[in-house]
Amino acid sequence: MSGIRVEPLEVRVNPAVPFPHRHDFWQIILIISGTGIHQIDFNPYKVRPRQIFIIKPGQVHRWKMNAGIKGTILEYGRSNQLIHSPDELTLPENEFQILKMLITIMQSEFTSRGPEADISLRSLLTSFLIQLERHTPKTGTEKSTTILESFKTLVEKNFMKEHRVEFYADKLGMTSKALTMQVTRALGKSPRAVIQDRFMMEARRYLAFSSMSISEIGYELGFEDANYFTRFFKSYEKMTPAAFRKKNSTA
């Protein structure tokens, strides 16, 4: 309904895809009670009450929830973005209860599928995301600016083929120097570092979770020469792609 799904976590603790996988939609998980382990990309988190997991489109995740886990899963399409969204939050009781109330109403609407349920779900989702955004800690220097949001969107769309800061600056109608100043001031890292971080995360995902050869992965990520991809990866990760795959592979 409206591209929104709300279900109890309990019915999903033994998923049909029990291995690391990714979605092309947003997935938010509220933990009410219980314990377990939830890994998002390469970061493991201990599951605990009043915890919220935010899995972005394209992230690889897997979990192992223990018996007695209780919570709610919210899934929705790419159109509603969370600007400041860490993978995991643990909120104070009063703030968590606000989100719990909203998602409980959403689950009721989703289950009942009554008249005007689509409209209600979309409205409730907006309210839920606003509340979540308010409670999300901001880094000391990060500000929500149009340039920053546009840059991040461009990186997400083009990082596999375009590694040059000049490309992104040109798309934004500004000089590379101006883009570097704005991004560095807001994020504490340069545009080049942002592009490389996103590129490297995708390289790690392919190496750990796919059966593609290293040369195929390099080509997929915009490198015509597999040796150059290996050198680039090693300079960043301090190990070769083959060593990283051996250490982390689940494929």
Burial of 179 (0-12, 13-18, 19+ CB in 10 A): buried
Q: Is the pLDDT of residue 13 over 90?
A: no
Amino acid at residue number 47: V
Q: Going by C-beta distance under 8 Å and a sequence separation of 6 or more, which residues neighbour residue 135?
A: 89, 91, 95, 99
**pLDDT (tens digit per residue) in 90-114:** 999 999 999 999 999 999 999 998 8
Annotation: CATH topology of 5-135? Jelly Rolls (2.60.120)
**Portions of the chain given CATH number 2.60.120.280:** 5-135
Q: pLDDT at position 207, please?
A: 95
Are 231 and 237 contacting, i.e. CB atoms less than 8 angstroms apart?
no
Question: Looking at domain 146-248, which of 1.10.10.60, 2.60.40.1180, 1.10.3720.10, 3.40.640.10 is its CATH number?
Answer: 1.10.10.60
The average pLDDT across 24-29 equals 95
Q: Is the pLDDT of residue 30 over 80?
A: yes
**Cross-strand partners of 65:** 36
**pLDDT (tens digit per residue) in 117-129:** 999 999 999 999 9
Q: pLDDT at position 140, please?
A: 47
Kind of pairing, strands 26-33 and 21-22? Answer: unpaired
User: pTM of the prediction?
Assistant: 0.81
**Portions of the chain given CATH number 1.10.10.60:** 146-248
CA 67 to chain centre: 26
Please, which pLDDT band fits residue 50 given cuts at 50, 70 and 90?
Answer: very high
